[in-house]
Amino acid sequence: MSRQAYVNGHFYAHGDAMVHVEDRGFQFADGVYEVWAVFDGKLADFKGHMDRLERSLDELRIDRPMSRAALTNVLRETVRRNRVRDGLCYIQITRGQARRDHPFPDPPVAPSLIVTSRSVDQASAAAKALKGVAVVTVPETRWARCDIKSVALLPNILAKQAAKEKGAAEAWFVDDLGLVTEGSSTNAWIVDSEGVLRTRDTNANILRGITRHNLIDLAHEAGIEVSQRPFSVEEAKQAKEAFFTAASAFVMPVISVDGTKIGDGKPGPITSKLRTIYLENARSAAV
Ligand code: PDD
């Protein structure tokens, strides 16, 4: 069966799924999104992503297109129709379609809703995690509301492309103080030279990653202490281990930062343990 996408109340063949030219998502990036990992056809970290989606909408004063229960059905139906066992489910909600004008449409229009889902080759992702990946650093150039999961991702895209052109898998943004904020689509972590697991606190201008949040709890349960405080690029280079987290990457070991080897240049033991714990937990808690 070919892929299908949900657009504003209907499922379409993926190639025919369209939004209007004057959708505010297209015109202004006036919208938000979420990404769930899918395990065995079920949505991982379901509540966390749903809560953050509603928060992002509220922060931007975009109406909810339907109830949480109805939206859950649409997400599940999209996964089902695309026969996704292991993969991703993507939702985007924009302020809707209206004549191009910067203020919110008046009278308001219905928000637009799209949902897609696709399979991911988890075997090749696992192989990547066994080897680890490279990271480069780039200056932080984003707006001051990175806690909102907005579709306005231009700095993130430029950063990811810069990483790709240097043979790296991710770019870590670095603020004016030389401290890492987060990755272009992931949260950044190290096991520092003292052996302390560190990731930036959420008072900083970063996305409050759901994988990050759950991993902090899982680390505590496993007796691994987490310190939520910033680290510099220099500290990252001298770290024993490094990794990044996201729904699309789980826990991905980092083996170099700007060409400097981390530890012995292989995924570290704490990182590998956390990846295993996270995957086991997320798979069994998926709904
Ligand atoms: N990105 N930081 C940024 C800037 C992100 O875009 C993401 C997620 C994360 C990790 O958040 P979470 O653990 O909730 O997935 C951190 C998604 C996967 C994306 O843009 O595709």
Per-residue pLDDT reduced to its tens digit, 23-35: 999 999 999 999 9
Residues 19 and 58 both lie in one domain = yes
Q: Tokens in use for 27?
A: 């015109």
Q: Evaluate whether 44 touches 56 at the Cβ level (below 8 Å).
A: no
Q: Is 207 in the pocket of ligand 1 (CB under 6 A)?
A: yes
Residues 24 and 148 both lie in one domain = no
| Rounded distance from Cα 11 to ligand 1 centre (Å) | 26
Residues 183 and 100 both lie in one domain = no
| Rounded distance from Cα 92 to ligand 1 centre (Å) | 14
The whole-angstrom separation of Cα 3 and Cα 81 is 8
Query: What number is the average pLDDT over the span 97-110?
Result: 98
Q: Is 149 annotated in the active site?
A: yes
Question: From atom 2 of ligand 1, which residue's Cα is the shortest distance away?
Answer: 186
Q: What is the pLDDT of residue 188?
A: 99
Q: Is 255 in the pocket of ligand 1 (CB under 6 A)?
A: no
| Rounded distance from Cα 250 to ligand 1 centre (Å) | 10
Q: What is the pLDDT of residue 170?
A: 98
Q: Is the pLDDT assigned to residue 1 strictly greater than 90?
A: no
Query: What number is the average pLDDT over the span 132-157?
Result: 98
Q: Is the pLDDT assigned to residue 257 strictly greater than 90?
A: yes
Query: What number is the average pLDDT over the span 234-254?
Result: 98
The ligand 1 atom at the shortest distance from the C-alpha of residue 210 is 14
pLDDT tens readout for residues 34-67: 999 999 999 999 999 999 999 999 999 999 999 9
The whole-angstrom separation of Cα 239 and Cα 27 is 43
Residues 140 and 75 both lie in one domain = no
Residue closest to 242 by CA, chosen among 250, 253, 226: 253
Q: Is 142 in the pocket of ligand 1 (CB under 6 A)?
A: no
Q: Is 155 in the pocket of ligand 1 (CB under 6 A)?
A: no
Residues 36 and 70 both lie in one domain = yes
Residue closest to 14 by CA, chosen among 6, 23, 22: 6
The ligand 1 atom at the shortest distance from the C-alpha of residue 247 is 15
Q: Of 61, 95, 120, which one is at a domain's C-terminal end?
A: 120
Residues 129 and 269 both lie in one domain = yes
Query: What number is the average pLDDT over the span 120-142?
Result: 97
Q: What is the CA radius of gyration of the chain?
A: 19
Q: What is the pLDDT of residue 12?
A: 98
Q: What is the pLDDT of residue 155?
A: 98
Instruction: Residue 108: give the domain boundaries.
Output: 4-120
pLDDT tens readout for residues 58-97: 999 999 999 999 999 999 999 999 999 999 999 999 999 9
Residues 152 and 171 both lie in one domain = yes
Q: Evaluate whether 114 touches 8 at the Cβ level (below 8 Å).
A: yes
Q: Tokens in use for 182?
A: 């987060």
- Only one residue has tokens 């990794």, namely 243
248, 252, 275, 281: which to mutate for ligand 1, most atoms within 8 A of CB?
Answer: 248
Average model confidence (pLDDT) for the chain? Answer: 98
pLDDT tens readout for residues 180-228: 999 999 999 999 999 999 999 999 999 999 999 999 999 999 999 999 9
Query: What number is the average pLDDT over the span 244-271?
Result: 98
Residue closest to 75 by CA, chosen among 111, 97, 109, 50: 50
CATH of the domain at 184: 3.20.10.10
Number of domains in the chain: 2
Q: Is 209 in the pocket of ligand 1 (CB under 6 A)?
A: yes
The whole-angstrom separation of Cα 216 and Cα 243 is 14
| Rounded distance from Cα 67 to ligand 1 centre (Å) | 24
Q: Of 104, 120, 136, which one is at a domain's C-terminal end?
A: 120
Distances (CA, A) of 123 to 43, 79, 84, 131, 265: 19, 20, 15, 13, 22
Residues 81 and 168 both lie in one domain = no
CATH of the domain at 64: 3.30.470.10
DSSP class of residue 195 equals S
| Rounded distance from Cα 186 to ligand 1 centre (Å) | 5
The whole-angstrom separation of Cα 248 and Cα 160 is 14
Q: Is the pLDDT assigned to residue 251 strictly greater than 70?
A: yes
Contacts of 57 (CB under 8 A, 6+ apart): 32, 63, 64, 93
Q: Is 182 in the pocket of ligand 1 (CB under 6 A)?
A: yes
Residues 109 and 129 both lie in one domain = no
Q: Tokens in use for 127?
A: 């192989």
3-state secondary structure of 120: coil
Residues 100 and 179 both lie in one domain = no
Residues 172 and 228 both lie in one domain = yes
DSSP class of residue 99 equals S
pTM of the model: 0.97
The whole-angstrom separation of Cα 215 and Cα 233 is 22
Q: Of 120, 145, 162, which one is at a domain's C-terminal end?
A: 120
Annotated catalytic residue, options 42, 131, 149, 160: 149
Residues 90 and 197 both lie in one domain = no
Query: Would you place residue 238 in the very low, low, confident or very high pLDDT band (cuts 50, 70, 90)?
Result: very high
Question: From atom 1 of ligand 1, which residue's Cα is the shortest distance away?
Answer: 185
**Can you say how many angstroms the Cα of residue 88 is from the centroid of all Cα atoms in its chain?**
11
